[in-house]
Amino acid sequence: MINDNTAFDNNELEGKEKIIVFDTTLRDGEQASGFHMFPEEKLEIAKQLAKLGVDIIEAGFAASSPGDFEAIKTIAEKVGTKDGPIICSLARTIDSDIEAAGKSLEPAYKKRIHLFIGTSDIHIQGKFGKDRNWVIEQAVNSIKKAKHYTNDIEFSCEDFGRSDSDYIVDIVCEVIKAGATTINLPDTVGWLLPNEAYEKVSYVIKKIREKGFNAIFSVHNHNDFGMASATTIEEIRAGARQIEVTINGIGERAGNTSLEEVIAILKTRKIAETNINTKLIGETSRLVSKYTGIEPSPNKSVVGKNAFAHEAGIHQSGIIKDSKTYEIMDPVDFGVESIITFGPRSGRRALKAKYESLGIKLNDDDFEKAAKTFFSIADKLKEIDDADIVRAINNGEEIPKHYKLISYHPVINEILKVTIELKIDNEIKTSYAEGNGQVDAAINAIKSLVQNNYELIDFKVVSKGKGSDAMGFTQLKLQKNGWKVIGRSENTDSVKSAIEAYIDACNRLKYLENFLNKSF
């Protein structure tokens, strides 16, 4: 018999509202197209997930590649400590997968093997060409084998959403008999409507219990119809006590249920408690974006850049009076910021408040003139910055090119060094610097010439077009004293595009500095 510190016994949560959070960012999230992470990146994220308070980290699929095996092993060793979360590996119901999972998890204090097999007739016939009894046999045998490594066994009925409910009851009773401790009921393809999921999960749990069996029931949803969070909430109502989620909702196809959405609902609507420290959600989301290179869409609930941004005048005016008018949760609780942004639909009240916050006092006539100019500038731009707001006071004047790029040269044979020649007012100045790459080196060289303490807060290069001659479009943000500006440039030479965007932003901040340092 293995004594392996199994964390939850079957009845621990009976009657309590605490929900177990099983994070699969590093497995189901990472296996999705474009989201591959390297072992050292997975380790950093695992550390952050432990800080965030997830109960179980599904660290990967040990049998899938040597790299994933090593990543799980390192996470098991470094994060799966006595006080840390349970570390889990996925495995098919085949011996070699179970062996790989068991071995990769060896260093963890608390370990779980997560077995899965398709249970819908579509999977049984289409994928395996077998029958339902064969699936039960595979499942039971695999659990017996996995028990050699740990007593904490999760069993997933893959494609539960399209499986026959009475067959699920049969197979689940057999796997519990064989030793499964958590039963996961995944809607693998996001098929169920939330009310159907409620009924199906309630039915299955009730029948299994009527037959004298029990386990922790878990749910796992995919977002193919955009309903994963709603479905998960319904399934909690139906009796599920473990939820499987990913940060930023990353995962196969349209993604998995997103941790931040479900946790925000549970907390804000006071449905249930979890061990999540919600204040760390923002930084966890940013770390996952950093390592995957993919940010959540701006309108993504809780962590998207617009989730607490207010641009329309009516909304800005409400928010200024009382944030509850247009914010159903406090962004601070989730480690993110509420912001007022400006565009052609913004309101005069917010614009006036913005001028005041910049220390600019305008009489009614001057404000009306500035507002008129501002709205005509805003109509022409995708995104407005503080320099645009200020130049509206000056009839929308062009921002002077205080700094101008004359030339840049990578140093021959040494790719990490760049020489920059800038025209500053009417004088030509040259500097030379090193960096992590040409752009970093060039920016370091510009910094030494411009001699400022501008902080780079955002940097994006996207290619416009698909060929090797595509335009590199750079948009970056710099800030100083809370003033934020956007620098933009496009060029077929993407290094030049980044350098020009940086200089553009420097010119905009210089303009603000000159203007705002005058007294009003």
Least separation in angstroms between CB 158 and ligand KIV: 4
Give the nearer residue to Zn ion in terms of CB position, either 28 or 504.
28
- Contact 254/29 with Cβ under 8 angstroms? no
Tell me, residue by residue from 158 to 197, as one string, x for binding to Zn ion by CB under 5 A and - for no binding: ----------------------------------------
Give the nearer residue to ligand KIV in terms of CB position, either 76 or 90.
90
Give the nearer residue to ligand KIV in terms of CB position, either 242 or 444.
242
Does 30 bind Zn ion (CB under 5 A)? Our answer is no
Least separation in angstroms between CB 509 and ligand KIV: 47
Give the nearer residue to Zn ion in terms of CB position, either 28 or 154.
28
Give the nearer residue to ligand KIV in terms of CB position, either 8 or 116.
116
Q: Residue 116 binds what, of Zn ion, ligand KIV, none (CB under 5 to 8 Å, by partner type)?
A: ligand KIV
Least separation in angstroms between CB 114 and Zn ion: 11
Q: Residue 25 binds what, of ligand KIV, Zn ion, none (CB under 5 to 8 Å, by partner type)?
A: none
Does 28 bind Zn ion (CB under 5 A)? Our answer is yes
Calpha distance 281→261 (Å, rounded)? 10
Helix (H, G, I), strand (E, B) or coil at 417: strand
H helix intervals, 159-258: 165-178, 194-210, 228-237
Least separation in angstroms between CB 100 and Zn ion: 19
Calpha distance 159→137 (Å, rounded)? 18
- Contact 340/316 with Cβ under 8 angstroms? yes
Least separation in angstroms between CB 118 and ligand KIV: 8
Least separation in angstroms between CB 497 and Zn ion: 39
Least separation in angstroms between CB 117 and Zn ion: 13
Least separation in angstroms between CB 257 and Zn ion: 9
Q: Kind of pairing, strands 309-310 and 242-245?
A: unpaired
Give the nearer residue to Zn ion in terms of CB position, either 28 or 68.
28
Calpha distance 345→89 (Å, rounded)? 50
Q: Residue 235 binds what, of Zn ion, ligand KIV, none (CB under 5 to 8 Å, by partner type)?
A: none
Give the nearer residue to ligand KIV in terms of CB position, either 167 or 432.
167
Calpha distance 360→516 (Å, rounded)? 8
- DSSP class of residue 273 equals -
Least separation in angstroms between CB 32 and ligand KIV: 11
Helix axis angle, 39-52 relative to 66-78, nearest 10°?
A: 40
Q: Residue 156 binds what, of ligand KIV, Zn ion, none (CB under 5 to 8 Å, by partner type)?
A: ligand KIV
Q: Residue 490 binds what, of ligand KIV, Zn ion, none (CB under 5 to 8 Å, by partner type)?
A: none
Size of the site for Zn ion (CB under 5 A): 1
Q: Residue 120 binds what, of ligand KIV, Zn ion, none (CB under 5 to 8 Å, by partner type)?
A: none
Helix (H, G, I), strand (E, B) or coil at 350: helix
Stretch that binds Zn ion, among 21-29, 77-85, 98-106, 113-121 (CB under 5 A): 21-29
Q: Residue 184 binds what, of ligand KIV, Zn ion, none (CB under 5 to 8 Å, by partner type)?
A: ligand KIV
DSSP letters, 89-106, are: EEEESSHHHHHHHHHHHT
Q: Residue 58 binds what, of Zn ion, ligand KIV, none (CB under 5 to 8 Å, by partner type)?
A: none
Stretch that binds Zn ion, among 24-32, 94-102, 133-141, 368-376 (CB under 5 A): 24-32
Residue 129: is it exposed, middle or buried by C-beta count within 10 angstroms (0-12/13-18/19+)? exposed
Give the nearer residue to ligand KIV in terms of CB position, either 205 or 392.
205
Give the nearer residue to Zn ion in terms of CB position, either 159 or 386.
159
Q: Residue 386 binds what, of Zn ion, ligand KIV, none (CB under 5 to 8 Å, by partner type)?
A: none
484 Cα distance to chain centroid: 24
Residues of this chain that interact with ligand KIV (CB under 6 A) are 28, 90, 116, 156, 158, 184, 186, 188, 220, 222
5-14, long-range: CB < 8 A, 24+ apart = 5/109, 5/110, 6/110, 6/150, 6/151, 6/152, 6/181, 7/55, 7/86, 7/110, 7/152, 8/55, 8/181, 8/182, 8/216, 9/181, 10/181, 10/214, 10/215, 10/216, 11/214, 12/216, 13/216, 13/241
Calpha distance 162→192 (Å, rounded)? 8
Give the nearer residue to ligand KIV in terms of CB position, either 31 or 497.
31
Q: Residue 151 binds what, of Zn ion, ligand KIV, none (CB under 5 to 8 Å, by partner type)?
A: none
Calpha distance 163→185 (Å, rounded)? 10
- DSSP class of residue 7 equals S
Give the nearer residue to Zn ion in terms of CB position, either 188 or 489.
188
Residue 38: HSE in the Cβ half-sphere, 13 Å Cα cutoff: 5
Least separation in angstroms between CB 90 and ligand KIV: 6
Least separation in angstroms between CB 157 and Zn ion: 12
Per the structure block, which two tokens stand in for 429?
């100045």
Beta strands in 353-482 (DSSP E): 403-411, 414-424, 427-434, 455-464, 471-480
Calpha distance 211→387 (Å, rounded)? 69
DSSP letters, 62-81, are: GGG-HHHHHHHHHHHHHT-S
- Contact 111/135 with Cβ under 8 angstroms? no
Least separation in angstroms between CB 401 and ligand KIV: 54
Give the nearer residue to ligand KIV in terms of CB position, either 261 or 388.
261
Residues forming contacts to Zn ion in the complex (CB under 5 A) are 28
